[in-house]
Structure 1
Amino acid sequence: MSAPIFEFKGYTINNLIYSKSKIEGMKFTDPDENLEFEANHGFTDDFSKGKLGLKVQLASKENDSFLILEVDGFFDIDSGLLKDDEGNERDISDVHHIFIVNAAAILYPYLRSIVSMVTGLDNSNNIILPTINLRNLSMEN
């Protein structure tokens, strides 16, 4: 079995806003109808560390509560990410794609849990994000 190409080191919550009144100037989505979120990522110059940021802006079904959440996940990256199975250098776009898809698959459950926990503290109608297929994420960003 080969060694993992990156290791999850943890996450931080950069922004968390929960409000009973709509926040002006913000677009909110109902996660049951059309879940939208933003993703951004970056690497150190030597590709030894990576960061993935995820942001959601959600409204409850009843439109009576609103949540903005931004989290960053941090990863140590093995040099194996830069090479394919034959040991050849990977195209940089492939490196980004592999990182985004896999890092999002690791970080999204934390984002999902935070949304459920925070909205559940207020009432029993907490917002539960769906499980999603993240394979096409990097193609959309």
Structure 2
Amino acid sequence: MTVLNFEGYRVTNMSYTQNDNFKKPQENLSFNPKFGVRLVTDDVNKAKVILTFASENELPFNVKVTLEGNFKYNASEDEINFGFEKLLRKNATAILFPYLRAIVSQLTTMGNEYQPLLIPAMNIGALLEKNEENNENSETK
């Protein structure tokens, strides 16, 4: 048995709309997507991890996707006491991220007017940590 069991995911929100105000050329676009993660603990050993992606008003389209993954924690297997919440933040988001990437790519492909949005492979755990640090620093100022 493993410390963290992935029990599947579901898409809770998907949206794609054209951005009629977009004026930039299609080549070499850069954008600042918003990623988010939220943990919902059902009981001591089960939790949902909600992973979100949004890009608005920076591309020829606006896209939002929300996934909800279900995870089970096996405390008896956590020999180094890594902890449930830390496992969820790091490992569960890493498990869900490829699904999010694929859904965003497929969703933006179906618009059939612009090139699909391909989110590069990245360390999503580190990115989310950086976002949290930036949010904490901006709140204390």
**TM-score normalized by structure 1?**
0.72
Correspondence for 1:53: 50
User: Please, what is the CA RMSD of the aligned residues?
Assistant: 2.7
Report the alpha carbon displacement of residue 59 of structure 1 after superposing the two structures with TM: 4.8
Residues of 1 paired with 2:30 and 2:96: CA distance?
Answer: 20
Residues of 1 paired with 2:30 and 2:6: CA distance?
Answer: 29
Whether 1:128 and 2:125 are equivalent positions in the alignment is no
Residues of 2 paired with 1:8 and 1:32: CA distance?
Answer: 33
Whether 1:67 and 2:63 are equivalent positions in the alignment is yes
CA deviation digits over 1:23-56, x for unaligned, max 9? Answer: xxxxxxxx9543320110122232x211110111
Is the Cα–Cα contact under 8 Å of residues 16 and 67 in structure 1 kept in the other structure?
Answer: yes
Whether 1:103 and 2:92 are equivalent positions in the alignment is yes
How does 1:72-83 map onto structure 2 within 5 Å? 72-80=68-76, 83=78
Residues of 2 paired with 1:19 and 1:33: CA distance?
Answer: 16
Aligned with 1:34: secondary structure? coil
Report the alpha carbon displacement of residue 77 of structure 1 after superposing the two structures with TM: 1.7
Correspondence for 1:25: none
Is the Cα–Cα contact under 8 Å of residues 33 and 54 in structure 2 kept in the other structure?
Answer: no
Report the alpha carbon displacement of residue 127 of structure 1 after superposing the two structures with TM: 0.4
Is the Cα–Cα contact under 8 Å of residues 13 and 67 in structure 2 kept in the other structure?
Answer: yes
Report the alpha carbon displacement of residue 128 of structure 1 after superposing the two structures with TM: 0.5
Is the Cα–Cα contact under 8 Å of residues 97 and 124 in structure 2 kept in the other structure?
Answer: no
Aligned partner of 2:50: which letter? G
Report the alpha carbon displacement of residue 133 of structure 1 after superposing the two structures with TM: 1.1
Q: Structure 1: state its 5+ residue gaps.
A: 23-30
